[in-house]
Amino acid sequence: MKYHLGTEGVFTSDNGNETQVYLAANPSHLEAADPVIEGIARAKTDVLGAGPEGDGTFPVLPIQVHGDAAMAGQGIVYEVMQMSGLEGYNVGGTIHVVVNNQIGFTTSPSGARTSTYSTDVARTVQAPIFHVNADDPEAVTRVGQLAFEYRQRFHKDVVIDLVCYRRRGHNEGDDPSMTQPLMYSLIDGKRSTRKIYTENLVGRGDITQDEADRALKDYQERLERVFAESHEAQTSTVPLVTGDAAAIANIERPSAQQADTGVSIPKSTAITEEVARRIGEAHVEAPEGFTTHRKLQKLLDRRNEMTEKGGVDWGMGELMAFGSLLMEGVPIRFSGQDVRRGTFTQRHAVFFDARTAPSGHR
């Protein structure tokens, strides 16, 4: 199962390198988090002064983890991939990992998709797709490295199709032998990935059985320790609640997530007359040598007038909000049809030189 609650922290590798990691909250609605993750990545990139509007580098790497059924079945996967190369949404490539356990809850691939591969949707943007046997950890590592290098070099999306299986049911109530009896009798007879790999390592003489046993024991102890620590931290900070509703409320709204969203209600959003006038004036201060379109110049003059004489319309009200925020040093990212493409003229906020602007605006 993909994880639901978000978190963040620092990952320290075996050789001591540190990477900041941000795990986005992921609601039950499959794939709904995909565009949110891209937006978070783009915002972080912009704030670092990187990306298409900065120094052109892409230091933030988005990784999306998909289920095989959701990857093929949810249209939003296609939509987000299609946006991956657009300047306004470019994050320098996303690594998509499909945990392809060949089942969607209780649905077999043949009941969930027409394409053979759940990853075929990625072909629409010519993303490379690596199909890899997840029972072979070294092959998975190699493919992970390849995907990373591809993303770093070409700054485009890349997909890893982790072909695997799910040993147990989708949840506590699901016994998969009821719906997929043949597949699950095969799975029941299979040794785990860890056992197969340990046997390979010992058989190759890379490690001894004794070392393998010790590594397993050490790992289990670490899990136990972390479990005990997190249990301790949770029981000491979360107030004791009684009754199901209270327990659910607590589970669904953890304090970490509340802090995460950081929503606060400002006391006053009013601006002074001086600020309003300054925003109006900015509309008639075209940069040197810039040719404003004749009709748009009238719009700009009208806007300036609104801040002088009153009668501010809705579009200008929005622009005053953005302008005043910018004057306070708050960066604004505003995208979509309304702003740059002039779909609604009253809201038009980006202007193209009437003599020199190329066609095909973003």
Q: How many residues bind ligand TPP (CB under 6 A)?
A: 13
What interhelical angle do 209-237 and 193-204 show, nearest 10? Answer: 140
- SS3 of 205, please? coil
Q: Which is nearer to Mg ion, 173 or 289 (CB)?
A: 173
Instruction: Tell me the residue type at 141.
Output: T
x/- letters, 83..102, toward Mg ion (CB under 5 A): ------------------x-
68 lines the binding site for ligand TPP (CB under 6 A): yes
CA nearest to 88, candidates 21, 136, 38: 38
x/- letters, 41..70, toward Mg ion (CB under 5 A): --------------------------xx--
CA distance 233 to 291: 62
Query: Which of the ranges 96-104, 216-224, 232-240, 340-348 carries the binding residues for ligand TPP, by CB under 6 A?
Result: 96-104
Q: Which residue is nearest to ligand TPP (CB)?
A: 67
Query: For residues 78, 115, 167 and 21, what is the CA-based torsion angle, rounded to 10 degrees?
Result: -20
Q: Which is nearer to ligand TPP, 52 or 67 (CB)?
A: 67
CA nearest to 29, candidates 62, 63, 77: 77
99 lines the binding site for ligand TPP (CB under 6 A): yes
Q: Which is nearer to ligand TPP, 166 or 348 (CB)?
A: 166
Q: Which is nearer to ligand TPP, 69 or 276 (CB)?
A: 69
Binds ligand TPP (CB under 6 A): choice among 67, 93, 280, 315: 67
Q: Which is nearer to ligand TPP, 178 or 326 (CB)?
A: 178
Q: Which is nearer to Mg ion, 103 or 160 (CB)?
A: 103
Q: What residue 242 binds from Mg ion, ligand TPP, none (CB within 5 to 8 A, per partner kind)? A: none
Least CB distance from residue 165 to ligand TPP, whole Å?
Answer: 10
69 lines the binding site for ligand TPP (CB under 6 A): yes
Q: Is there a contact between 129 and 161 (Cβ–Cβ < 8 Å)? A: yes
Binds ligand TPP (CB under 6 A): choice among 13, 28, 236, 359: 28
Q: How many residues bind Mg ion (CB under 5 A)?
A: 5
Question: Which residue reads 């509340």 in tokens?
Answer: 258
Q: Which is nearer to Mg ion, 42 or 166 (CB)?
A: 166
Q: What residue 70 binds from Mg ion, ligand TPP, none (CB within 5 to 8 A, per partner kind)? A: ligand TPP
DSSP H helices, the chain, are 34-47, 68-73, 75-83, 137-154, 181-188, 193-204, 209-237, 244-252, 255-261, 273-282, 294-309, 314-327, 337-340
Rounded to 5 degrees, φ, ψ at 221 are -65, -40
Distance of CA 187 to the CA centre of its chain: 32
Token pair in block for residue 311: 């009668």
CA nearest to 322, candidates 293, 292, 347: 347
Give the binding site for ligand TPP (CB under 6 A): 28-30, 67-70, 99, 101, 103-105, 170
Give the binding site for Mg ion (CB under 5 A): 67-68, 101, 103-104
